[in-house]
Amino acid sequence: MQVFKSFLKILNRNKISLIVYLVVFMILLISMAGNGEEASYKGFQEAEISFAAFNEDQGEFGKYLIDYLSQNNEKVEIENDKDVLMDAMFYRNIDCVITIPKDFTERIVAGEKQALIEVSKINDLQYGELAISKISEYISAVQIYLNCGYEVSIADEKAREQLKKEGKVLLEDGSQTVETQEWVYYFSFAPYIIICLIMLGIGPILNVFSEKNINMRNNCSATKLLTINLQKILGCVVFVVLAIIVFSVGSMILYPEFMFTIKGLIVMINLALFSFIALAITVLAVQYAKNSTWLNIIANTLGIVLCFLGGVFVPVTWFGENLIKVCRLLPTYWYVKCIESIQTMEDGAKISTEIWGYYGILVLFIIAIFAVSLVIAKGKQQKI
C-alpha cells in the first residue's frame, strides 16, 4: 500500500490549503443557498395599493368594500380636500382616491354594475386600474350571492372567501408550480462546490504521480501497474467519500428534519453520484493540466460552464430549445432534473422510475468520462 500511503502523505501536506478551500466553499454554498431562498419564486403576488377612501354610503356595502380593500392594501387617512388629494397623488403618497356615493348599497342590491364608484387616479399609474379591477371583482362576487338570496352580510362574507381562492398554475409540460423547499438551494448549488473542491483537492496529487520521473520509477518498480492504479483509485475514493460526508453533515445541521427522511437519503445518493462524476472530470483534466495553476483555471471554468448550462445558476427554461438540447449533454442538467423530481415526491414515497432513470444517466456519465480518461492516459503511457 505504498502508493496509497504516499497519496495520503501528499494529501496531509496540502491539508491547510484544503481546509481553507473547504471553509470558503461551504460559506459560499450556504450564502448562495440563502440568497436563493430569499429570491425564490413564491407564486403570484398582488401589488399593494395605497389609497384614500371616503365613504358616503348610507348602507352597509360601502364599509364592507373599504374593509375588503384594506386587507392586502394600505388605506391612507387624509383630508378630503381636492388640492390635498391631488398633491398626495402627484407625490405618489397615494395611488388613487375612492369615493363611495350615498346610494352605493342600494344600486348594488338593484343589480347595477356601471359607474357605481368614483376612482380618481393618475393616468400613467397602473395601480389605479388595479384598484378599479379589485372593486369590480368584489361587486360582481357580491351580486352573485345577492341574486342567490343571501343577506347583505352573508353575501359580503362569501364574496371575500371566493376572492381569496387561488387557481393552480400549470406549466406548458402539464406540471404544476411547486414552492421551492429550503434544502433544494443547498443541493442545487452543490455541484459547483463539488467540482472545484475535488479538482483542487485530488488534481495536484494526481499531478505528482503523473510527473515523468515518478511515472518511470513506478513502471520500473516491483509493484504491478494495476496495483499502483488501484491504490491511486482508493485514495481518490477516500477523498470523495470524505467530501460527501462533509456535505452530508452540513445538510444535517441545516436541514435535520429533511435529511433524516427517505427523500434526504435519495438526494444524498444523487449528490454522491455527481461527486464521482466530478472525480472522473478531475482525472480527465489532469491529463491536460500541467500544474496547479492550470488546474485552478480548469476547475473554475468547468464549474461555471457546467453549472450555468446545467441549470444550477439559472433555470434551463430560460434558454432556447436549441441550447436546451446542448444542456442535456451535461451531467449537471440531469443532476438538477433529479433534484426537481425529488422535490415533487410525497413524503415516505418510494424512489420513482424517473429518479432511477436519472441515477442511471449519471452512472453512464461516470463510466463514459472515466473511459475517455483511461484511453488518454494509456496513450500517454505508451509514449513514455
Condensed to tens digits (0 to 9), the pLDDT of residues 279-315 reads 999 888 888 877 777 878 888 888 888 888 888 888 8
Residues 14/19/25/30 CA torsion (nearest 10 deg):
170
Interval 216-271: pLDDT, tens:
666 666 667 677 778 888 888 898 999 899 888 888 888 888 888 888 889 999 99
Looking at residue 39, its pLDDT comes to 46
Burial of 276 (0-12, 13-18, 19+ CB in 10 A): buried
Tell me the per-residue pLDDT of 115-173, one tens digit each, with 9 for 90 and over: 678 888 877 667 778 888 888 888 899 899 988 888 888 988 888 888 877 655 555 55
Instruction: Answer yes or no: CATH 3.40.1710 is held by domain 50-164.
Output: yes
Nearest to 362 by CA among 327, 334, 328: 334
Within 10 A of 114 (CB to CB), how many other CB atoms are there? 5
Cut 0.75: pTM above it: no
Q: Rounded mean pLDDT of 302-331?
A: 85
**pLDDT more than 70, % of the chain:** 85
Q: What is the mean pLDDT of residues 352-380?
A: 87
Neighbour-count burial for 47-67, b at 16+ CB within 10 Å, e otherwise: eebbbbbebebebbbbebbbe
pLDDT at 41: 45
| Strands of the sheet with 96-100, listed across from one edge | 74-75, 50-55, 96-100, 118-121
| Residue 283, pLDDT score | 86
Residue 117 — φ and ψ, nearest 5°? -135, 145
42 pLDDT exceeds 50?
Answer: no
Amino acid making up residue 150? Y
CA 19 to CA 35: how far, in whole Å? 24
Q: Nearest CA to 276 among 333, 208, 347, 194?
A: 194
CA distance to 122, 217, 240, per residue, from 188 (Å): 44, 43, 18
Is pLDDT at 363 greater than 90 in this prediction? yes
pLDDT recorded at residue 264: 87
Residue 16: CB atoms within 10 A of its CB come to 9
Q: pLDDT tens digits, residue range 336-351?
A: 999 888 888 777 667 7
Element (H, E) at 55: strand 50-55
Using pLDDT thresholds of 50, 70 and 90, give the confidence band for residue 187: confident
- Judge residue 169's burial from the number of C-beta atoms within 10 Å of its C-beta, 0-12 exposed, 13-18 middle, 19 or more buried: exposed
Residues 235 and 203: their CA atoms lie apart, in Å, by 12
For 117-145, letters b (16+ CB in 10 Å) and e give beeebeeeeebbebbeebbeebbebbbeb
CA 153 from centroid of its chain's CA atoms: 44
pLDDT of residue 13: 81
Residue 83 has pLDDT above 50, yes or no: yes
pLDDT at 199: 86
> Is residue 277 pLDDT above 90, yes or no?
yes
The residue ranges of every structural domain in the chain are 2-41+174-383, 50-164
